[in-house]
């Protein structure tokens, strides 16, 4: 049996936590350890990390292992590699490669499941984002089945635009097959969004992004999603994708409990500025931290890490540190229906754990230790 000491994130009081693969007990116990002890972060949208692109079908197992190590160093213990719009065979090949690595790698459980973002999205400039237009296509249940087969049954979420003909039936069937449906990269009307939610859609993908640069003030598809309490919402809090004013209002509208921090990270995350890839597309990490399509200025994911997203949402949206941690732990566990993680630090929950300090001068978070299902996997 292992024991960790630290500070409870909500009460600020010292606790002692005993665990193996899961948490066995939590006690109030005096300790000089002033590090916070919390559940490990969960990221439902990661296109790549540590210089590694998850949308390249032949990326090596060694490279994926290196990417997992980089995720763990930031406190992320569960992540959903996200495959975006591409040719049908390429998407299946990427999923198959990721699923094979998940089973082969000692720490492959970090890849808790897989998220397919597209190709059933708006073809319009703006809502389409950095997804290649030539591969945007209508919802297809046979393709959904191929993704599930390629992922070895671990497809967990699909992001689509609900304005496509047949989208309501597709959503109903996807949900019946155990797949979470998120609304994103959309130009849908209020009625189409309402129909999608009634059919079973439960999340908004990186709300406030993947949208027209100019739209009518109201109604519009951002307000419609913010207003629906049946939808949780993912937010990219990197001080690039969303201004602080929008983020503040959006978190107030959703409530902390329905707000989920995601990175939408691509290969340059936790890497140095330069040229990388997102599938067949070149992308650049600029010196000021933006990830853009090569040679242009269109955002193509981010270089964000969840430890920084937590600190950022405290700074930009004025939430407490405890609420910010919930937005990266309990909330994505509930939105993603991730077993053993939905109650946070509680007896019987999986021992995915992080100890960290907060810089008193600037509020940045410094992850010092990470545990994955009770295994010590990172020490700074």
Q: What confidence tens digit (pLDDT) does each residue in 32-85 have? A: 788 999 999 999 999 999 999 999 999 999 999 999 999 999 999 999 999 999
**Phi, psi torsion values for 305, nearest 5 degrees:** -120, 150
What is the Cα–Cα distance from 5 to 326, expressed in whole angstroms?
20
Q: How many other CB atoms are found less than 10 A from the CB of residue 285?
A: 24
pLDDT in tens, the chain (380 residues): 899 999 999 988 999 999 999 999 999 988 778 899 999 999 999 999 999 999 999 999 999 999 999 999 999 999 999 999 999 999 999 999 999 999 999 999 999 999 999 999 999 999 999 999 999 999 999 999 999 999 999 999 999 999 999 999 999 999 999 999 999 999 999 999 999 999 999 999 999 999 999 999 999 999 999 999 999 999 999 999 999 999 999 999 999 999 999 999 999 999 999 999 999 999 999 999 999 999 888 999 999 999 999 999 999 999 999 999 999 999 999 999 999 999 999 999 999 999 999 999 999 999 999 999 999 999 99
What is the Cα–Cα distance from 4 to 332, expressed in whole angstroms?
24
- Say how far residue 294 (Cα) sits from the centre of its chain: 23
- Token pair of 11, please? 């009460």
Question: Which of 3.40.50.2300, 1.10.357.10, 3.20.20.140, 3.30.1360.170 would CATH assign to domain 40-341?
Answer: 3.20.20.140
Question: Which pLDDT value is given to residue 231?
Answer: 98
- Token pair of 205, please? 């993908």
Task: Single out the residue of 245, 188, 179, 251 nearest to residue 215, CA to CA.
Answer: 188
């Amino acid at each position: 049996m292992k024991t960790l000491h630290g500070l409870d994130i909500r009460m600020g009081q010292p606790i002692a936590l005993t665990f193996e693969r899961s948490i066995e007990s939590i006690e109030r116990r005096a300790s000089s350890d002033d590090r916070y002890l919390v559940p490990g972060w969960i990221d439902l949208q990661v296109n790549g990390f540590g210089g590694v692109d998850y949308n390249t079908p032949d990326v090596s197992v060694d490279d994926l292992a290196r990417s997992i190590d980089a995720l763990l160093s930031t406190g992320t213990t569960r992540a959903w590699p996200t495959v975006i719009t591409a040719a049908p065979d390429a998407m299946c090949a990427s999923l198959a490669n990721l699923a094979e690595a998940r089973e082969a790698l000692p720490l492959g459980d970090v890849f808790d499941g897989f998220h397919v973002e597209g190709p059933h999205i708006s073809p319009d400039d703006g809502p389409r984002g950095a997804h290649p237009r030539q591969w945007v296509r209508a919802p297809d249940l046979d393709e959904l089945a191929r993704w599930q087969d390629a992922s070895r049954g671990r497809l967990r979420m699909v992001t689509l635009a609900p304005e496509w003909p047949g989208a309501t039936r597709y959503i109903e069937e996807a949900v019946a097959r155990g797949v979470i449906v998120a609304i994103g990269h959309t130009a849908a009307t209020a009625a189409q969004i309402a129909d999608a939610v009634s059919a079973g859609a439960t999340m908004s993908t990186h709300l406030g992004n993947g949208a027209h640069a100019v739209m009518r003030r109201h109604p519009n598809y951002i307000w419609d999603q913010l207003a629906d309490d049946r939808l949780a919402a993912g937010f990219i809090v990197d001080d690039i994708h969303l201004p602080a004013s929008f983020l503040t209002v959006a978190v107030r509208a959703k409530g902390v409990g329905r707000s989920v921090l995601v990175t939408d990270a691509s290969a340059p995350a936790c890497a140095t500025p330069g040229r990388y890839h997102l599938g067949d597309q070149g992308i650049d990490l600029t010196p000021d931290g933006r990830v853009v399509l090569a040679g242009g200025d269109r955002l193509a994911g981010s270089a964000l890490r969840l430890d920084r997203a937590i600190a950022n949402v405290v700074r930009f949206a004025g939430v407490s540190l405890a609420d910010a941690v919930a937005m990266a732990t309990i909330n994505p566990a509930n939105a993603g229906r991730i077993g053993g993680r939905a109650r946070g630090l509680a007896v019987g929950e999986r021992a995915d754990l992080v100890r960290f300090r907060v810089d008193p001068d600037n509020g940045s978070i410094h992850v010092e230790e990470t545990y994955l299902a009770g295994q010590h996997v990172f020490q700074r």
